[in-house]
Amino acid sequence: MSTLTTPSATGSPQAPSPARRPALTTVPAARLVAAREIWVRLRDRAFLVSTAVTLVIIAASIIVPTLFFGGDGPEEYRVAAVGQAAPAALDDAAAASDGALEVEAVAADDVAAAQDLVSTGEVDAALVAGPGGSLELVGNESTPDDLVDALNAAVSVERGSAVLDELGASPEQVRALTEDPVTTRVLDDSGTELVVTLVALVFAFLFFFTVFGFGYQIAQSVTEEKQSRVVELLVAAVPVRALLIGKVAGNTLLAVGQIVLIVAVGLLGLAASGQGDLIGTVAGASGWFLVFFLLGFTMLSTLWAAAGALAARIEDLQSTTLPLQMLVMAPFFVAVYVTEPGRWLTLLSYVPFTAPLSMPRRLLLGDAAWWEALLAAGIIAATTAVLVLVASRLYRGSLMRTGSKTSIKQAWRASVED
C-alpha cells in the first residue's frame, strides 16, 4: 500500500498538505469532532456496560456490607449519663426512634469519669447535660449518627412544646426549635484520619484508571483512523489542530461525566446504608478532586493523542505509549505510598504529575489552605499549556505519516518543515 508522504530536500518523508483547505475553521470543527467522539462512545455497548458494571460494584460495595452485618434487631447503645437531664433525654431518644434504638443509661459522677468509660470502651458514648438545657454527646472515634438524630428529634419536640406553651415566641425560642440541640465531639480522631486516607486512596485509583483507560482509548482511536486512512478524509474537512482539540475535549467531557456519576452513586450509597457521617467528608473533597482531575486529565490526554499519532498500526501502540504509561503509573504509586503530612507530601502536591493525587489528599487532611490548592492548580494549568503545544506539534508532524512508526524526532522535524 502506498503512502501519502513525499520526499523532502534531504530525502526524508514529510507530511503533505491536504489537497484542499478544510471547509471548517478550528472552533466549529473542534466542536464537531468532540460531538462525534461523545456520540461514538455513547453508542459503544462495551463502554456503557463497563460504566454500568462499575456503578453497580461501587453501590454494592457500600450497601451490601451494611445489609449483611448491620443486624436485624434494634441498635443497642450503652451511654454514660452526666447530669440530671441526661437519663431522661436518653429515654426520650429511645422512644423517638420508634423501636430502632435501645439505650442503656450508665450513671457517671462527672465528665472526666464519663470520658474514661468512653475511652476504655465500656460505653459507646457519653451524654453530658450542661446549663441551660444544653446536651453534648461524646464519642471515642465517632458518635453514632442514629443516636444523635434520635436525641435531636426528642429534645426538639420537648423544646417545641415549651415554646408553644408561651404566648409568643422570641427569636431565641425560634432558634431553639430549628437548630439541632445536641452537639458532638470525639476523643480520638484516628478513625477520621483512616476515613480520609481511604477516601484519598479511592480518588487516586479513580484518577489512575480513568486517565489510563480513556487515554489509551484516545491513542487507539487516533491510530485506527490513521491505519484505516479515515484521517485523510477528516483532514480534508477539518484542520489538524481541530482534530486534536475535539478528541481531547470530547473524551474529557466523557471522563468527567463518568467520575461525577461514580461520586454521585457513592454518596447515594452512603446515604442509603446509613453512613451519613461520611457524606460530608466525601462531598467536601469531591469538588477539589474534580477540579484537579479535570486539569490532570487535560494535561495528559493531549500526550495520549500524540502517542497514537506516532503509531502507524495498532501493534505500535505498546511502544509509542510506553513512556506515557510510565508517566501515569509512577506518580500514582508515589502518591499512594506517600500519605502522611510532611515535606514529601507537600512537595508532591506542587509537582504537576503528582499534584492531582496529592493536593486533594492534603486538603482532606486539612494540611493545605485554599490558596495552596489554587497555586497547585495554576502550576498544572501552566504545564498543560506547554504540553499542549508540544503534543500538538508531534501530532501534526506524525498524523499523516502512514508508512511506518514515526519517531519523536521525525515528527518534530516534520512539523517544522510542514
Left (φ > 0), alpha (ψ -120 to 50) or beta: where does 205 sit? alpha
Start-end of CATH 3.40.190 domains in the chain: 73-188
* 369: helix, strand or coil: coil
Environment class of residue 109 by beta-carbon count within 10 Å: exposed (0-12), middle (13-18) or buried (19+)?
Answer: exposed
Q: Tell me which residue of 312, 364, 358, 297 sits closest to 332, measured CA to CA.
A: 358
Classify residue 274 as left (phi > 0), alpha (psi -120 to 50) or beta.
left
Q: Indicate whether this model's pTM tops 0.85.
A: no
- SS3 of residue 7 by DSSP: strand
Contact 5, 403 (CB under 8 A): yes
Phi then psi for residue 63, to 5 deg, are -85, -40
In order of 228, 268, 338, 344, 362, the CA distances from 348 in angstroms are 42, 32, 9, 6, 10
The arrangement of secondary structure in 73-188, i.e. its CATH architecture, is 3-Layer(aba) Sandwich (3.40)
The residue behind cell 502517542 is 307
Calpha distance 38→251 (Å, rounded): 7
In angstroms, the CA 269 to CA 375 distance is 33
In which residue ranges of the chain is pLDDT below 70?
A: 1-23, 65-74, 98, 157-196, 273-278, 280-282, 284, 415-418
Q: Which residues have a Cβ under 8 Å from the Cβ of 268 and sit 6 or more positions away? A: 59
DSSP reduced 3-state for 102: strand
Q: What angle do the packed helices 240-272 and 190-227 form, to 10 degrees? A: 150
